[in-house]
Amino acid sequence: MTVEVVETNRIAFLDVLRGVALFGILLVNVFSFGADYPAWSGVSDQLAWQVKHVFFETKFWMLYSVLFGMGFLLQTQSPDYTIARSLRRLGVLMLLGCLHGLLFEGDILMLYAELGVLLLLLYRLPTKWLLSLAILLALSFPLGHLLGGDRGDDWPAENAAEATFWLEEDRAESPLAVASFTEVLAYHAGFLPERFWADWQYPDSGFLVLACFLIGYCLMRSGWGVMARLAPAKSVQIALGLWGLGLSLMAIEGYWSATMGYAPFERSDATSMQVLGGDLVYLVATLSLTGAWFLSVWCWAQSRRLVGVRGLIASAGQMSLTGYLTQTVMFTTVFYGYGLGAAFEWGPAQVVGFAVGVYALQVVLCHCWMQRFRRGPLEWLWRCLTYWRWEPMRR
């Protein structure tokens, strides 16, 4: 089986996977403006929240992080690769992340830039050492949660009335809902720069991001040939197995959440050992579902189904940095008080519909752009500053 290449230095599958991941990141991020509050108790809202939690939450930043590690391997194999150039690349990414972080607290670019430097120090180690380190880093979540305890806040609410009160309070007082543009920038400036070691005992920690970098790097270094030789039927079989395992474990996590008060991100009412068990279940479920998404897109990329749709999504994947940052511009304009003021007003069902609409618009616009230009505007800027030379833009 051959790997489809869209340019001399692009692998089509990776572009499609980036395009799919772009939607998952968007869908999770739009919940940050009040849709994750338990006050939204309607059937459609609860269903939308469960879809986000089971299929997308944690899975898609993991997917993007694996892609970062795979892309890093391709960069090191470039004939003109130098460590200095990699450091410039990461420095530009850090700058973009800081600017993005002034608008949105959920920026991940700063984390990627910081951990990219650590990857530069580690990547020459043998594959088995890197994978062993990835396992240890992943275990920092359940073991750290056991030793470090919960975040120590009052979340979640004790009952629906308290959750509704919190939602109304944030509508009236949150900087996201009432602050001006400059006040929003000042508010978020207090969270800069990102500290990758913060929240190290939780599923969104920098240690887990680095673990995914290492998995992606090792996959590209040692496993790419194995994947390329897999028969399509075998790839489908493995993907279905991962879906089955991941969804079964997420069902167990949901049951424990309902019956024991376990929560991976919030305060848990369960015992320490129950929390440890829940964290291990959630970690394995998340890794399984991340792998299921990865292999499902791989199977699609090797098939002849929905080729036109795949091309549209690949265009978005080629512009994933531009897409990621313009998503923030769009949803902050809609949600923040200086824009349309929808923060804490829209529930899960509404924000999921919004995410689908924004992504559909992005896919079309990215496809039109890539018909005329070699790269997205921010990808072009990133490349120019990395190579410190003017790069051609038009095709």
The 3-state secondary structure of 263-288, one letter per residue: CCCCCCCCCHHHHHHHHHHHHHHHHH
User: In the block, which residue shows the tokens 């496993």?
Assistant: 223
Dist CA 128 CA 263 (whole Å): 33
Contact 237, 297 (CB under 8 A): no
**Residue ranges for the chain with pLDDT beneath 70:** 1-10, 149-158
Longest dimension (CA), the chain: 62
Structure tokens at 202: 């939780």
pLDDT at 223: 83
Round to whole Å and give the CA distance between 45 and 72.
39
Query: What pLDDT is attached to residue 5?
Result: 38
For residue 319, what are its two tokens?
A: 């512009």
pTM of the model: 0.93
- The helix (run of H) or strand (run of E) holding residue 231 is none
Joined tokens for residue 302: 């090797």
Which of 183, 52, 29 shows the shortest CA–CA distance to 108? 29
CB 76 within 8 A of CB 83: no
pLDDT value at position 163? Answer: 81
Please give the Cα distance from 98 to 357 (Å, whole number). 27
All residues at 6 or more sequence positions from 84 whose CB lies less than 8 Å from its CB, including other chains: none
**Whether the Cβ atoms of residue 187 and residue 181 lie closer than 8 Å to each other:** no
Alpha carbons 97 and 84: distance in angstroms, whole number: 20
5 has which bridge partners? 11
Q: How many C-beta atoms surround the C-beta of residue 136 within 10 A?
A: 12
Question: Is the CB of residue 140 less than 8 Å from the CB of residue 205?
Answer: yes
What's residue 368's pLDDT? Answer: 96
Give me the pLDDT at residue 1, please.
Answer: 34
